Amino acid sequence: MKPRFKPGPFSAGNVQHTVRDASRSDSTRHGPVFTAALCTIFTAALWGMVLYGVTSVSPAAAQSESVSITADPGPVPVEELAERRERIRRGMGSGIMILFGAEPKVFSNDVNYPYRQESNLFYLTGISQPGATLVLLPGNRSQKEILFLPRRDPAREIWTGHMIGVEEARQRTGIAHVWPIEEFDAFVETVLHGSAYEKRPSDDEGDYRAIGESVENGTPVAVWLLADASSRYGSRYPRALRFASEAARFPAARVRLASGLFRDLRVVKSDWELQRLQRAVDITRLAQRAIMRRASGPGGQGGPGGPLNESVLDGIILSIYRAHGAHWGFPSIVASGPNATTLHYEENNREIASGELVLADIGAAVGYYTADVTRTFPVGGVFADAQREVYEVVLDAHARGVAAVRPGMTMRRVHEVARKVIADGLLKLGLITSTSGNQYRMWYMHGTSHWIGLDVHDVGGRDMPFRPGMVITVEPGIYVREDTLENLDDTPRNRALIEAIRPAFERYRNIGVRIEDDVLVTEDGHRVLSEGTPRSIEEIEAFMAQPAP
C-alpha cells in the first residue's frame, strides 16, 4: 500500500509449517481483527481453496517448492505486555495517561462495522473488546495501572458474544486492578482534583500523593492523551479530543500528547511481534501467488467461471486470508489496466482484458499485525514490450531501495535512492526531459517507504535512523495516467514538455507498476520478509507458465 508521504510539490527465528494442499488448514485462533464486509462469488472461493498451495520458482527456472506459513505465536505474553506498560510509564515520568478504546462505528442503521480496537491500547493490553479504557500512573507504586471494562451482561452476550470478565482480564493482561467502566468518570474527577479514590483505596499510602501535591501547589499535572488534531482523514481519537477540550475544569491539568511515546516504543518490533508479522506476510505471499496462477491462462481464463474480473481475484485473496485465520489489514487493491494508475483504487470490479497488467497491493492481518505486499503481473503470463520497459525501471529502483536498508539509514534516504533510479529511468523512457527538477512527479508521486506493524501505515518518523527490529516497506512505482498531461498548467514550458514527451506517453499510456516488499532491519543489514513471491520478470513469467497444481 503506497505511503501517503509526498516529498515535494509538483510545478525473527520463526516456527513454520508447510502448506501443500487444500486439505491442510490452520486451526490457530486469534483475537478479532477489523474485517471486510465483502461478497465473494463461488468461483473465487473455489479458486482460493484450490490455489493456496501453489509453488514458487527459482530466478532461473520454474522450480517447484512448498509454501511455508509461519506459525501463529498465540496471544502476546503477559510479561511482554507488562514490559511495554512499564516502558511507557518511564517515558511519562509523572502525571496520568488515559487511553480510550476505539468507539464502535455504524455501518448501517443498527449494524456496526466489525470492531477494531485502538492500536495503542491494544499494544499495552491485548484487549480487543469495546468499552475499554486504560489508566497509567507512574507516580503510584500499587495502583500504577488500572483497566476499566464494561461489566459482563448475560443478556447482551446472547446477541454479541462473550465479554471479558475481571479475572480473565487480569490473566490476559497482567493488570491487577480491573474496575468497572462506570467508575471511570468518578475516579478521574477525584484524582485530577487532588484526592485519592476512596471507593477503592490503595495498599500504598504514597499513591496519588504527587498528583495531590501538584494540585495543592498549583503546579502542572501532565495528562497524557492520544489527542492529536484531526487530519483530513478524520479524527482518530474522538474521546481523547473531547476529554482534552474539557481538561480546563481540572485546576492543574496540562494535556500532553502521548503519540511520541508510542512511536518510539512501537517502531522496534519484539521477536513475538516479528513472528506474528511474518505470518501475515506469508499468508499475503500465498494470496499473491494464487492470483498470479488464476491470471496465468490465455487471457486470464485459466480456470472456471468465465471472464476474469478484478472481483474474482479479490475473492481469491479474501478466501486465502480466511482459510488461514487472517483478515485484511486494509481493503485490497486489485487494479487492472488503467485502474493500476490510481494509487488507492478499491472498486475491484472491472473485467480484465487479455494482456493487461494487474497491480495487486494487498496485506493480510494476523492479530492486527499487517503485511503489505504489491506485485504487478500480466494477465496471460507474458509482459508486453512497453510493460516490460516500465517494469524494469521500477524493479531496478526497488532493488536499489532494498539494498540501501541497513542500520543508520532513514526512510527519507531510502526514498532518495529509489527516486533517483526512477527519474533516470523515466528520462530513458522519454517520459521526462530532465532529472534535475520535479518532472518525475508526474509519474511517481508518492514516497518509497512506510512503517508497518499494528497499522499498515505504522508509527515512526521519516528521519528516524533505522535500528534492528524496525520493519518498513520498499515500494517504488510508475503510473502513466491518461489525464496527467491534460492536468498540467497551460504554460509555454509545459506545452514544450508535452510536445517532447508525447510519443513516450502514447507508448506507455495507462501502464501502472508498483513493486512492494516488507523489509526487516537487521544487525548486519536487512531481511526481506516477503521473499519468495515472484518479483522479476523472469520469475513471474516462469511461475505463471507452470501448469496448475
CATH topology of domain 78-265: Creatine Amidinohydrolase; Chain A, domain 1 (3.40.350)
More confident of the two residues 440 and 63: 440
Global pTM value: 0.88
- Residue 185 CB neighbours (<10 A): 10
pLDDT at 38 (0 to 100): 38
Contact 169, 175 (CB under 8 A): yes
Question: How far, in Å, CA of 267 to CA of 278, rounded?
Answer: 16
Q: C-alpha distances in angstroms, 113 versus 154, 367, 537?
A: 22, 17, 40
Beta pairing partners, 220: none
Per DSSP, the three-state class of 513 is strand
16-72+270-545 to CATH, choices 3.90.230.10, 3.40.50.150, 3.40.50.720, 3.30.360.10 = 3.90.230.10
pLDDT at 251 (0 to 100): 87
Task: Name the strand (E) or helix (H) holding 522.
Answer: strand 517-522
Provide the b/e sequence for 421-451 (b: ≥16 CB within 10 Å): bbbbbbbebebbeeeeeebbbbbbbbbbbbb
Across 47-61, 406-420, 454-468, least confident range? 47-61
Question: How far, in Å, CA of 341 to CA of 390, rounded?
Answer: 13
pLDDT at 501 (0 to 100): 98
Contact 464, 410 (CB under 8 A): yes
pLDDT at 67 (0 to 100): 73
Question: How far, in Å, CA of 518 to CA of 283, rounded?
Answer: 13
Name the residue ranges covered by the structural domains of the chain: 16-72+270-545, 78-265
Q: Model confidence at 481, in pLDDT bands (50, 70, 90)? A: very high
> pLDDT tens digit string along 188-201?
999 999 999 999 99
- To 10 degrees, what angle do helices 42-51 and 271-294 make? 120
